[in-house]
Structure 1
Amino acid sequence: ALVTATETDTAVTRVFDVAKGLPWPARFPSRVLANDFVEHWTGHEEALDAGACDELAAAIAAGDCRIAPVDAGQGVGMIRGDASVADVIDEMCTGAEELLSRWGPTGGRA
């Protein structure tokens, strides 16, 4: 889900905190990938019933991203594939080395 998502596929919501009964302050909502649960219940949190909460619990247990929360910031759109942390760091370091070498021995400083 994260690899195919764009920055506009996220939503800011409290719906999962409310559905799970978490006493998280309202001023600190979560940014998640928008899904069916978010679209249906955001803005209607007070109407969440036991059935919706049970549906969420089952989806979390099953890893069903259509219902379960997937935390993701707006930077999710920058994900280009499935890579290890080591690969991402190697790519960043290689890119930095290339840029610095183009600037010469002063690293772009006068």
Structure 2
Amino acid sequence: NLEEKIQFLGFAKQPEYHLSEFNIYLSTSLYEGLPYSIIEAMVLKKALVLSNVTGNNELLINEYNGELFHLNDSSKAVSSILSIYYNKSKMELYGKNSYLLYQQKYSLEKMITDLKNLYLSAE
């Protein structure tokens, strides 16, 4: 009966619509570059539960804006989800911190400024 509790969406043209419905963003990826979907979740102030792989672990500070779990450690992933879900203040804090981290490191303005500074430093 997972379909009653979990939405398996596949490709979505407007992911922010679906993301706004969730309390916690889960990624079980084996590898990511710079995962845009996680940044979208951070913009929407979501608590994160992510596999501890390249890309994911660059966007999540453990126990600051979510929790990391090692690949194939589904029990840790489940315990993280339950811990966050049943502790509303933790969920809100992680969500708030996700947005703050996004603003500090990954907003369009920040990325443009960093890129401009990089080019200026190369002169």
TM norm structure 1: 0.31
